[in-house]
Structure 1
Amino acid sequence: MKAGARAALSRAGLLGSVAALVLLTGCGTTDLTPIPEGVPPGVGAPLPPIDLDAAGRSAVQLSGWAKEQDSTGISRTALEAYGYAAAVMARSRPDCGIAWTTIAGIASVESRHGTHHGASVGDDGKVSPPIRGLALDGSPGVALVKDTDGGKLDGDSVYDRAMGPFQFIAETWQRYGVDANGDGIADPDNIDDASLTAARYLCVSGGDLTGAPGWEKALLTYNQSAVYMKTVRDRAAAYSVGRRG
C-alpha cells in the first residue's frame, strides 16, 4: 500500500489504502473462472483440520493447503497465516464465520501481502524491512494521531504510524494484538500475529460476517471507505475462486 494514499482514519484507529484499486483479471484471458458477485465474498478453498495448539508456528501445518492455492499469487507463508487465523476464529468465535479470503483481501489492499515497497515475508512470518506508514501528523490528507506508545512499536515518539502487513496503529495493536506463532510476542510486523489480530478485530466489529450487514460493518469499521470495502470484496472474491486479486 502506498503510504501517500492514506486519507482517513477509522473510528477504531485502523488505516487503509484506497490506492491500487485496479482488479487484476488474468491479463485479458477469457477462460478463467468468473469472479462471483455479492457480499460477503466466497469463503474459498476449505481448510483441512489441523492442531491449532501445536507447538511453534502452528500455521505451517497448512503448507500443503497453501501450495494448492498458488494460483492466487499469494505467498505460501501468507496463505498459511490467513488460513490459520480463520481456523482459530472458527473455534473461538464460531458465530463470526470469517473466511480466510476476507483476511487475504484486506492484506492485499494494505500491503500486497507484506511485500509493499520491497518488503518480504520470511518463513517465520516476519515481514522485513518493517512496513511503516506516514507520520499521522494532520497534514493535508493525513489524520492527526499523536504518539500513543512512546515510539516503542512504530519508531515514532511524536506521531503514530500504521504498522505491518495489516497497517495497525499502536493504540489498536496494544488493545487487540495477539501472538499467533507461539513465540510469546504479539508482533505487528509478523504476518501470523497480524492476520489473527485482524480477524479478531473484524469479528468484534461486525459480529456475524456470514451475512452482508455484519461483513460490511466490520469492513467499514476497519476503514471508513466504501471504495476500500469494495476493493477488499473484489480481491477476496477473486481469491475465493483461485484467481489473483
Structure 2
Amino acid sequence: MTRVRWLQAVAVIGATALLMAASCSWQMGSRIPEGVPPPAGDPVPQIDTYASGRPADQLHQWAAERAPALGIPVTALEAYAYAARVAQVENPDCNLAWTTLAGIGQVESHHGTYRGADIAANGDVSPPIRGVLLDGTGGNLEILDHDSVSHDPAVEDKGDEPYARAMGPMQFIPETWRLYGVDANNDGDISADNIDDAALSAAGYLCWRGKDLSTPRGWMDALRAYNLSDQYARNVRDWATAYANGHAL
C-alpha cells in the first residue's frame, strides 16, 4: 500500500462527505447501544506498512496463532490486522481496531467464505461474492450500476442488469468502491474481491465517517455510515467483542 494511494482515498472521501451526510439519518440525539465501541483486542505488532509484495504477510504468525480460536481464515485476519495497522500509522486519531473490521467481515460475508467462497494466499476471494440486486424492491435501495462492475455471473450475464449489487467480502456498492477502493497488496489491481484491498478500503471509509472510533459516538457514526441499521451495528459489536475476548460467538 502506497502513501500516495491512501492520501488520494482520503481526499476523495472529503470531497463526498457533504453528499453522504445529507443521506444519513443518524441524529446526534439518537441512542447509542451499550458496549460501544467494542474492545480493541490483542494489539497488532508493528510492521513496515510500505513493504513490497503483500505487506499483510508480515502478520502471518500473529494471525495464525489466533485464527483457529476466532474461526477466521488466517488470510482474512492478516488483512484486518494490516488495515488496522495502516490506519494507526496514517490516521492515529481514528483508533480503528481490527476487531471492528473483523466484525464487519463476519456480518457481511463470513470473512470472504459466504456460499463456499475461498480466499487465495494473495487475498483474492473466489467465486466473487455479490449481494442482492439493489432494484428498489423488498425494502432495498435502488442503486444503478452503469458499468455492470457488480454483476453476479452466477445469475445474470454482464450488462443484463442496470442495478447494482454490493461486492466482495466487505460488500461495497460500485460507486463507493470507485471512490474509496485502494490497492493493499501491491498487485497493481484495486479489487473489491480481494480481502486485503476491501479491508483497507473499509478502514479508510470508517475512519473518515467516524473520526475517532474509540468514542461511542464516533464508532456509531462510522457503522451507521457503513450500514444504516442499528441492528447491524449491534451485530458487528457482538462479533467484535467476542473476537476481542479470543473466540467467536
| TM-score past 0.5 threshold | yes
**2:206 aligned to which of 190, 194, 202:** 202
Task: State the alpha-carbon separation in 1 of the partners of residues 93 and 164 from structure 2.
Answer: 33
Q: Which amino acid aligns with 2:50?
A: D
Please tell me the residue identity of whatever aligns with 2:187.
D
Return the match for 1:59 from 56, 62, 81: 56
CA distance in 1, matches of 2:109, 2:225: 18
Task: Describe how 1:172-187 pairs up with structure 2 within 5 A.
Answer: 172-187=176-191
| 2:39 is aligned with 1:42 | yes
Q: What SS class does the counterpart of residue 96 from structure 1 fall into?
A: coil
Deviation of 1:115 (Å): 0.6
Superposed CA deviations along residues 56-77 of structure 1, whole A, max 9, x for unmatched, are: 1010110000012121010110
- Give the aligned residue type for 2:49: L
Runs of 4+ in 1 over 2 A off after TM superposition: 152-157
Deviates more, 1:186-195 or 1:42-51: 42-51
Aligned partners of 2:213 and 2:140: how far apart in 1?
30
Q: Is the 8 A contact 2:37 2:215 kept in 1?
A: yes
**Residue number among 123, 130, 134 corresponding to 1:132 in the alignment:** 130
CA distance in 2, matches of 1:175, 1:121: 24
TM-score relative to the length of structure 1: 0.83
Q: Which residue of 2 aligns with 1:116?
A: 114
More moved, 176-185 vs 37-46: 37-46
Distance in structure 2 (CA, Å) of the matches to 1:68 and 1:48: 13
1:112-170: per-residue Cα shift (whole Å, max 9, x none)? Answer: 0001111111111000000011221112222111124x113545551111100010010
Q: Which residue of 2 aligns with 1:69?
A: 66
Q: Which has the higher helix share?
A: 2
1:51-110 CA distances to partner (integer Å, 9 max, x unpaired)?
111111010110000012121010110000000000000011101000000000000000
Normalising by structure 2, report the TM-score. Answer: 0.81
How much is the aligned-residue C-alpha RMSD, in angstroms?
Answer: 1.4
Deviates more, 1:101-110 or 1:128-137: 128-137
SS at the partner of 2:225? helix
Whole-Å separation in 2 of the counterparts to 1:208 and 1:81: 21
| 1:220 CA displacement | 0.6
Distance in 2 (CA, whole Å) between partners of 1:39 and 1:221 is 15
1:162 aligns with 2:162: no
SS of residue matched to 2:86: helix
Runs (5+) with no aligned partner, structure 1 = 1-10, 13-36
Q: Where does structure 2 lack aligned partners over 5 or more consecutive residues?
A: 1-19, 22-33, 152-157
Partner of 2:141: 143
Amino acid at match of 2:173: I
